[in-house]
Chain A
Amino acid sequence: MLYNGMHIVKTIKFGEMRTLGNPVQFAKVYDSRNVDELVFIDLAATEENRKSDLETVRKLMLECFMPVTIGGGIKNIQDITNLLKIGADKVCINTAAIENPGFITEAAKKFGSQCIVISIDAKKIGKDHYVFKNRGRTNIGKVALDWAKEIEQLGAGEIFLTSIDQDGTMGGYDLKLVKEVASAVKIPVIACGGAGKVQDIIDVVKIGKAHAASLASMFHYSGHTANSIKERMDKAGIAVRIL
């Protein structure tokens, strides 16, 4: 779930935000549908120089009896402490990790690696995928798989990998990007960006070697539920949690 400080939104290729509704109601629906995990990212927090909206996070956490990862605007240890205190299980860090890679190590030492998710927003330029910050506006000049290895070395527990090119297109994950990164590191890689049909998810696990798949548009806009998708994944031979 992407949040802009007021509403749940969805972007296409990191562009204009389409408003979808109230985060607490979304969380309630996804909890009742037994999704395995919820990722809630305040995508405008850093650029608007806001901290995490703790009050909203607190309210949506009341609806969640599954693991929740919160991201957006996290700059220091205190920001993480505040989020964990109201029930977040993991935090997702992007800009602060790029600007101060030592922060990854500091946070991992303090809270354990399993708590620290680093997100990578990557875009294809020529043959390679480059890492971008500022919601896809600034190329930091690093290739995604190099940055992924660095992140792992620094102590991150997971990588949340988003393809800017595929974001919101529902045209399938960027399998090449996912495979490149997932094969380069030992920590779990969650693939994000592009899921439009169940086969895309099966592909990103089987071909892309992702450890988990993140979906937004498919849940927001289509009739699919976590269970209906996972029944198909199970038939395709992927180990999933089916209730």
Chain B
Amino acid sequence: MTTSLKKVVIVDYKMGNVASVKKAFEKLGARVKISSTKNDIGSAQYIVLPGVGAFGEGISNLKKLGLIDILSKSVLKKRVPFLGICIGMQLLADTGYEFGKHDGLGWIKGETIKLKSTNLPHIGWNNIKTKSNKLFSDLPDNNFYFVHSYFLKPADKSIVTSTCNYDQVFSSSIQKDNIFATQFHPEKSQLAGLKVLDNFLSYTHAKN
């Protein structure tokens, strides 16, 4: 593995599912800390924002914990590699529409909107169509696990790195500089998922 001794901080903002993400990164040999402190986030080598939950609750928890400034500073200014998973991808948008209209982090221009598919939530394994991207090099298969009703629709389509078709084609992952995000759950996607996380850990930003 290329990833030994990489230090990953998983942001704990009371939105669940942190243990699975931790376990997956540990399986890859990374050192993982689950934390909601500014110190840890400020000194992280890699930052992961996971999540199971609703948009409004997610953003309000980040606010309550006072983490938005430090996250923005680390990710946008210091360019620390960042991975948002599921709700952690959706929160990057300017605005989200789950249970009312809410402001998001606004790191990615766009909106988090509801899928138009007949059966929601979209729960299950789906193939994604990938573009050539760091995150997807040497995948054993393209099969990933999804659990969601909403997705991030970025204004700039060129940042979309994969799409998935569930009655409707939607962006299943994006990359903008050091910001990676997946709508699917790599930590729940067996071997292909672990490969995505491993690829994330081998990303280093050219200029720090």
Using a CB–CB cutoff of 8 Å, the interface residues on chain A facing chain B are 34, 36, 58, 61-62, 65-67, 81, 84-90, 109-115, 157-158, 186-188, 211-212, 241, 243
Q: Give CA–CA (A114, B148) in the complex, Å.
A: 6
Q: Is the interface of B mostly helix, strand, loop or mixed?
A: mixed
Contact of A111 among B27, B53, B188 (CB under 8 A): B53
Q: Give CA–CA (A36, B147) in the complex, Å.
A: 13
30 examples of A-B residue contacts, CB within 8 angstroms: A36-B125, A62-B23, A65-B187, A65-B188, A65-B189, A65-B190, A67-B145, A67-B188, A87-B23, A89-B20, A89-B52, A110-B53, A111-B52, A111-B53, A111-B54, A112-B52, A112-B149, A114-B52, A114-B147, A115-B16, A157-B149, A158-B123, A186-B119, A187-B119, A187-B121, A188-B121, A211-B119, A241-B125, A241-B143, A243-B143
B18 and A85 contacting across the interface, CB-CB below 8 Å: yes
Nearest chain B residue, comparing its CB with the CB of A84: B16
A187 proximity list for chain B (CB < 8 A): 119-121
Nearest chain A residue, comparing its CB with the CB of B148: A114
Q: Is B106 an interface residue (CB 8 A)?
A: no
A65 proximity list for chain B (CB < 8 A): 24, 27, 187-190, 193-194
Nearest chain B CB to A183 CB, angstrom units: 12
Contact of B16 among A58, A111, A157, A241 (CB under 8 A): A111
Q: Give CA–CA (A192, B121) in the complex, Å.
A: 20
**What band does the interface of chain B fall in when counting residues whose beta carbon is under 8 Å from A?**
35 or more
Contact of A110 among B18, B54, B194 (CB under 8 A): B54
Nearest chain A residue, comparing its CB with the CB of B122: A114
Q: Is B124 an interface residue (CB 8 A)?
A: yes
Nearest chain B residue, comparing its CB with the CB of A156: B121
How many interface contacts (CB-CB < 8 Å) are there between A and B?
Answer: 100
A157 proximity list for chain B (CB < 8 A): 121, 123, 149
Q: Give CA–CA (A34, B27) in the complex, Å.
A: 17
Q: In the complex, given contacts A187-B120, A211-B124, what are 17 additional A-B residue pairs having Cβ atoms less than 8 angstroms apart? A: A34-B190, A36-B125, A58-B19, A62-B23, A65-B24, A85-B18, A86-B19, A87-B20, A89-B188, A111-B16, A111-B54, A113-B120, A113-B149, A114-B121, A115-B16, A157-B149, A187-B119
